[in-house]
Amino acid sequence: GSHGSVGKSSRHYVPLDYTQMTDYAKAVVESVSPAPDEISMKNTTLRRITEICNNLVPGSRVIPFGSLVSGFATKGADMDLIFAHDSLDPQPFSHESNIPVRLAGEFLKRGFEVDLLIRTRVPILKIKTPGSEPGSRPGSPSAEEVLKEDLGEEPWPENISCDIGFKAHLGITNSYFFRTYSQCDPRFREMVLFVKQWSKNRDLNSPYFGTLSSYGYVLMVAHFLINVVQPPILPNLQLIPPEPDTPESELMQDGFSIWYFKDVSKITSGELLPGAKNEMELGQLLYEFFQYFTTNFNFVGEVVTIRTPGGVMYKQEKGWTSARERVGETTTYQDRYLLALEDPFEITHNVGRTCGGPGVRRIRGEMQRAAQIIRKVSTPVAPESPATAA
């Protein structure tokens, strides 16, 4: 097609030995993966937060999403949660509602660090469980004393941060979506964890400061594994049609199509990707990933759209042109399309809009640097082949 693909027909003809890079990447993945006790600690924390919410608002639920659900969490990652309650709809947590404030109070009295953001469209409650260091305010009882004496509660696992939102959104759906994708092939999660860590090390993971969110890098890796690498490592789960009797709740949400194929047994059996299996190891995949975004993907004209066949559209087709950025039709925020990554469900949302010009240039420069480094540590495959013997 017009969009370059990477694989057997690639531009470089000297096969490289990626063993060293693979070993290095696997060590990085291992070192950033949360240990089993961290995972169980977070489950305990989630259960106890749910209890507190339930006591405050009977019948309420706490819905986890983000990396906790997708499996892309790194060590010490925040917990992304949604406080939900059906009977209070349609305006359950408007700014007049005092539930976020009262909930904040519940965590404050347990010694949590608490920050309630109310200038956002929907309030966000940021909390952090108490750390082990003795109370910094002299004379005040430690959080532990308060818990034991006033509340009859056990101490909390230390220093776990949670963001609690007050409105259910497509983030829940896309987290389960990527969890399903990550069950297709372990290399997806490994690539995501490596790229996330690389982006943090190279200071390319600050959506508030002109670069890309982790979620944006997940979209880039998904596009690469679905559409770029040959043979593909992931099937396109959104292109497999639903059965006729699929309930509406699996098809549409908030006016967007949210259908994707969810039968994990069919996914793991490999029947969705007939033909030769891609056996590339992590090191080579990372090389091809950085190489693709350095040389094949056209940042100026193209949009990553993992839902579509081929996974790429032109900005023109979507009306995502930089001209619109300068017109600035909304007063609240500017839409930017310098790096265009279409959300798989909320297709009007550019996940890359946090990137400014300097951010995009730095991301591309760092990708080029990463590819060069991998090339340097990956020596050509040893002789034996007629080409090298000649």
Farthest-apart Cα atoms in the chain, separation: 82
Q: How far is residue 303's CA from residue 81's CA, in Å, rounded to a whole number?
A: 30
Q: For residues 26 and 179, which CB has a smaller minimum distance to ligand CTP in the complex?
A: 179
Cβ atoms of residues 15 and 378 within 8 Å? no
Cβ atoms of residues 338 and 323 within 8 Å? no
Q: For residues 77 and 204, which CB has a smaller minimum distance to ligand CTP in the complex?
A: 77
Q: How far is the CB of 30 from ligand CTP (least distance, A)?
A: 17
Q: For residues 22 and 174, which CB has a smaller minimum distance to ligand CTP in the complex?
A: 174
Q: How far is the CB of 332 from ligand CTP (least distance, A)?
A: 16
Q: For residues 65 and 156, which CB has a smaller minimum distance to ligand CTP in the complex?
A: 65
Q: What angle do CA 59, 63, 64 make, to 5 degrees?
A: 155
64 closest CA partner among 76, 47, 51: 47
Q: How far is the CB of 20 from ligand CTP (least distance, A)?
A: 27
The DSSP letter of residue 256 is E
E strands of the chain, at which residues? 61-65, 79-84, 113-117, 124-128, 161-165, 252-253, 256-257, 302-304, 312-314, 340-341
Distances in Å between the Cα of 156 and the Cα atoms of 128, 159, 272 are 10, 9, 44
User: 228: which 2 tokens?
Assistant: 């770029």
Q: How far is the CB of 242 from ligand CTP (least distance, A)?
A: 22
Q: For residues 22 and 213, which CB has a smaller minimum distance to ligand CTP in the complex?
A: 213
Q: For residues 174 and 378, which CB has a smaller minimum distance to ligand CTP in the complex?
A: 174
Q: How far is the CB of 336 from ligand CTP (least distance, A)?
A: 13
Q: How far is the CB of 171 from ligand CTP (least distance, A)?
A: 4
User: 335: which 2 tokens?
Assistant: 């839409």
Q: For residues 213 and 236, which CB has a smaller minimum distance to ligand CTP in the complex?
A: 213
Q: What residues make contact with ligand CTP under the rule CB under 6 A? A: 65-67, 70, 72, 74, 77-78, 80, 171, 174-175, 213-215, 351
Q: How far is the CB of 238 from ligand CTP (least distance, A)?
A: 16
Q: How far is the CB of 352 from ligand CTP (least distance, A)?
A: 9
Cβ atoms of residues 81 and 62 within 8 Å? yes
Helices (H) and strands (E) in the chain, counts: 14, 10
Cβ-proximal residues to 231 (8 Å cutoff; 6+ apart), any chain:
7, 273, 275, 276, 277, 278
Q: For residues 173 and 236, which CB has a smaller minimum distance to ligand CTP in the complex?
A: 173
